[in-house]
Chain A
């Protein structure tokens, strides 16, 4: 079945530094990838949608200069949290769609970011 690999699974960084999270589709080409943020005991909040080779579309209220998304190939999308602050601490999850029907979404295992 479709597999999405997300790394790292956990990262701790100092305030003011940048962190990059990778999301790879291992056995299919992901034309579209989505990045979510999830706070404890809350649902997934869509941050942005990225299509291969084009600029990401950010949801309202998400700072595109802070959360840089790159989808340079059909198998890799990256989310970079720039100048991280403690309030950016959260669980970040990617999902990939391989151009199939809507139920073809596959999620990564998530990245827990802690900014100290």
Chain B
């Protein structure tokens, strides 16, 4: 079993829809949770980070963490074609250098 599981998609939705992206994990030691966005042939860029259960909102993006279920989500409201990218979840442990990444979900927002 992988430490972090993420549905690779692809996921295709119409413009304006609410998008839900999810990851599950098996290691209860994970303390930090991040979402990265990666455009084609570019490096990932950090979108959101959280370190506690609950919701964190930033503009159209909401990151949700449920440590009891070992489940994290990223919601995108009012999705735009420019949101089309691969979204990767990542997790880490305080004091450890490495992040563990999910496989990434390819998202396409259709105009």
Contacts and interface: CB of A to CB of B under 8 A. Distances in A.
A4 B43 CA distance: 10
A26 B45 CA distance: 16
A49 interface: yes
A31 B34 CA distance: 21
B103 A103 contact: no
Interface residues of A, number: 23
B46 A93 contact: no
A46 B98 contact: yes
Interface residues of B, number: 23
A32 B92 CA distance: 15
A34 B42 contact: no
Given A46-B98, A102-B99, A103-B34, A41 B43 contact: no
A98 interface: no
A7 interface: no
Nearest to B50: A103
A105 interface: yes
A85 interface: no
Given A41-B8, A103-B32, A93 B43 contact: yes
